[in-house]
Chains A and B, each alone.
Chain A
Amino acid sequence: MGFHVGNPKSAADLVQAHQVHRDVYISPDVYALEMKHVFANAWVFVGHESQTPKKGDYFATQIGNQPVIQVRHKPDDIHVLLNRCPHKGTKIVIDRQGNTGKFFRCPYHAWSFKTDGCLLAIPLKKGYEGTGLEKTQNGKGMKAVGAVKNYRGFIFARLADEGISFEEFFGDSLSSLDNMVDRSPEGRLEVVGPPLRYMHYCNWKMLVENQTDTCHPMVAHESSAGIAVKLYEELNLPKGAPKPAAMQIIAPFMSPYEFFEGMGIRTWPNGHGHTGVHHSIHSDYSAIPGYFEAMVETYGEEKAKTILDENRHNTVYFPNIMIKGPIQQLRTFIPLAADKTIVESYIYRLVGAPDELTARTAMYNRMINAPTSIVGHDDLEMYERAQEGLHVNGLEWVNISRLLEDDENHEGEAVLNGTTERQMRNQFDAWRKFMTYDQDQQEAAK
């Protein structure tokens, strides 16, 4: 320990083509470096615009370990500010969401700020005359993030002032977000209720990797999906009788290896990728009356079919979210420490679509991703056993070489066998890139 302190290049060396050193999961020093570099140089999901629909509405969350506020400054203008009074450091808002009116006001000494962060007023301001306060960072108002992008309602931010553009960072991977939003006959999503909040004592990257780990469901989830199939068979329902909801949602986890091999994995540059290129566990959900008709009205039959035929399973957006387009779910894996992660699982309503779709999405969310989920329980068990097991000395590397190709590189899009670990390697390739991105840029500028 201590070896990597202040040295992003040494942390980047923990990643090799076929393996990663355990320090990427367990070292607090590496964690500090990824918060400072990876989460500052990458574009990170903040929230959805429907969480702050009116002027003055705010939503408090984190980008990596940085507390931030998403706030609607004008009807069409959402800002992301660091949640810290520039005076003494007090968090400006403490509730998760609310409305601040025309300005933020620090509850400690009443410094106030416009909703774009600009300093509005300081009580007894003459006390600062001649002190030079206005020339310091403290006198300039609430600090804003480096850049903000509202992409079809989803708010992303880059903490660093300079860096990769939104378009270059995401590239063609935005097709998954597009598909999720296009599934609304009005091309618009709205958040539904609060997210599930689930505390894990493991590293955030284990959760992200698991999103495209197609060799674990039939093993780790045998106790839920396998028993679901057994109970269903015991029911001996007549042919054609509607299946219990649990069978639609949980049973596909027991699909054989061949199913997951055939579903395919696609990867894009900068660590993004998805499972379910050809089909997925979401393919066989029963149709909802009236939905297809509403889609045809908006898009025409051909385009409506193209949108709905897409069955992408999990799309990972590096560094720390996953979306499920076919069911309008987004999960964010918020790092709290090297061995502590909070998972928040949101669902969205397809504006203009029948309520039954929202009902199915809500059902998926609670059955699979709740702290009370019989599926989630076994996932958490695996992550936390790994977090503890990785402390074993003398065996310090984690293998990620399944279906590794000799000339593998992550600069272009690729589609492969669905059981490859390529997406995990792709994430680590991006992790290494954004760990040293600022340093590499500075050196190139010399």
Chain B
Amino acid sequence: MSVSKDQIIDFIYEEARMLDEGRHDEWLALWLTDGHYWMPLDYKQSDPINETSLLYEDMFMLKLRVERLNGARTFSQKPKSRCHHVIQRPFIDEMNGDTFVTNTSMHYVETRLDEQQLLALTARHDLTLVDGQLRIANKRIDILNCDAAFRNIQLLP
């Protein structure tokens, strides 16, 4: 079984829509169990382990993050944040059998109370075809102004 370029691109769009609509359990189900969500701190950072990143999270941390959003005593989410992705058509950089790499430019907006922030991002997805379904093997988000001082970023680009 193989997938078309359009199916890969649709997958990236659908993932962004899940995040915007807060369908986090569906989103977690997209991931392979050993995947990592990486958001580097440094411009063009190459090492996620031995340097500080903004995020480098395994499935345990991602589940914790998602569950926390709905917790009864999650004070920084009362009221809840909302987010919005505007994405450019993804580039498909690699198609090797069952594995794919995409590169997607996006504007990510996150808002809560009277504050709203806009981040310009590039997302790299490593995707794997498992039992006919595309899954996220790894995801890397590079923020254009990664060296700026940020306010809270509470949801996931």
Q: Other than the known A192-B51, A231-B63, A371-B153, what 6 A-B pairs have Cβ atoms closer than 8 Å?
A: A193-B45, A244-B60, A245-B61, A246-B61, A365-B52, A370-B53
Contact of A228 with B by CB under 8 A: yes
Which residues 39-71 of B sit at the A interface, judged by CB distance below 8 A? 39, 41-42, 45, 49-56, 58, 60-61, 63-65, 67-68, 71
Interface size range of chain B in the complex: 20 to 34
Which residues 168-219 of A sit at the B interface, judged by CB distance below 8 A? 192-199
Contact of B105 with A by CB under 8 A: no
Residue of B nearest to A244 (CB): B60
A291 to B53, CA, bound (A): 24
Contact of B7 with A by CB under 8 A: no
CB <8 Å contact, A380 and B60: no
CB <8 Å contact, A374 and B64: yes
Min CB–CB distance A360 → chain B (angstroms)? 10
Closest A-B pairs by Cβ, 4 of them: A371-B150, A223-B74, A197-B149, A377-B76
Which listed residue, B42, B60, B64, B150, touches A199 by the CB 8 Å rule?
B150
Query: When A196-B41, A377-B76, A381-B76 are in contact, do A366 and B64 touch as well, CB less than 8 Å?
Result: no
Q: What are 8 A-B pairs at a CB distance below 8 A?
A: A197-B150, A223-B75, A227-B64, A246-B60, A246-B64, A366-B52, A376-B152, A377-B154
CB <8 Å contact, B74 and A192: no
Contact of B93 with A by CB under 8 A: no
B49: which A residues are within 8 A, CB to CB? 359, 362
A226 to B149, CA, bound (A): 28
Contact of A382 with B by CB under 8 A: yes
Residue of B nearest to A355 (CB): B50
Min CB–CB distance A296 → chain B (angstroms)? 24
B150: which A residues are within 8 A, CB to CB? 197-199, 371-372
A376 to B61, CA, bound (A): 15
CB <8 Å contact, A223 and B73: yes
Which listed residue, B52, B63, B152, touches A362 by the CB 8 Å rule?
B52
Which listed residue, A342, A372, A374, touches B68 by the CB 8 Å rule?
A374
Contact of A220 with B by CB under 8 A: yes
Contact of A358 with B by CB under 8 A: yes
B1: which A residues are within 8 A, CB to CB? none
Residues of A within 8 A of B (CB): 96, 192-199, 220, 222-224, 226-228, 231, 235, 244-246, 250, 342, 345, 347, 355, 358-359, 362-363, 365-367, 370-372, 374, 376-378, 380-382
B74: which A residues are within 8 A, CB to CB? 223, 378
CB <8 Å contact, B76 and A192: no
CB <8 Å contact, B76 and A362: no
Residues of B within 8 A of A (CB): 39, 41-42, 45, 49-56, 58, 60-61, 63-65, 67-68, 71, 73-77, 147-154
Residue of A nearest to B148 (CB): A197
Which listed residue, B52, B60, B73, B76, touches A196 by the CB 8 Å rule?
B52
Min CB–CB distance B76 → chain A (angstroms)? 4
CB <8 Å contact, B58 and A366: no
Min CB–CB distance A291 → chain B (angstroms)? 15
Between A228, A244, A363, A371, the greatest number of chain B beta carbons within 10 A of the residue's beta carbon is seen for A371
CB <8 Å contact, B76 and A380: yes
CB <8 Å contact, A381 and B75: yes
Query: When A193-B51, A371-B54, A377-B76 are in contact, do A342 and B149 touch as well, CB less than 8 Å?
Result: yes
Min CB–CB distance B39 → chain A (angstroms)? 7
CB <8 Å contact, A199 and B73: no
Min CB–CB distance A116 → chain B (angstroms)? 29
Residue of A nearest to B53 (CB): A366
A355: which B residues are within 8 A, CB to CB? 50
A358: which B residues are within 8 A, CB to CB? 50
A220: which B residues are within 8 A, CB to CB? 75
Between B54, B58, B152, the greatest number of chain A beta carbons within 10 A of the residue's beta carbon is seen for B152
A362 to B77, CA, bound (A): 26
CB <8 Å contact, B149 and A359: no
CB <8 Å contact, A223 and B58: no
CB <8 Å contact, B51 and A222: no
A96: which B residues are within 8 A, CB to CB? 147
A362 to B52, CA, bound (A): 5
CB <8 Å contact, A227 and B152: no
Min CB–CB distance A7 → chain B (angstroms)? 32
Min CB–CB distance A444 → chain B (angstroms)? 41
Residue of A nearest to B61 (CB): A246
CB <8 Å contact, A347 and B52: yes
B148: which A residues are within 8 A, CB to CB? 197
A355 to B154, CA, bound (A): 30
A224 to B68, CA, bound (A): 6
A374: which B residues are within 8 A, CB to CB? 64-65, 68
Min CB–CB distance B113 → chain A (angstroms)? 10
B73: which A residues are within 8 A, CB to CB? 222-223, 226
Between B45, B52, B153, B154, the greatest number of chain A beta carbons within 10 A of the residue's beta carbon is seen for B52
A231 to B28, CA, bound (A): 15
CB <8 Å contact, A372 and B55: yes
Min CB–CB distance A106 → chain B (angstroms)? 25
CB <8 Å contact, A192 and B52: yes
A347 to B42, CA, bound (A): 14
Residue of B nearest to A196 (CB): B52
B67: which A residues are within 8 A, CB to CB? 227, 231
Residue of B nearest to A362 (CB): B52
CB <8 Å contact, A370 and B60: no
A362 to B150, CA, bound (A): 18
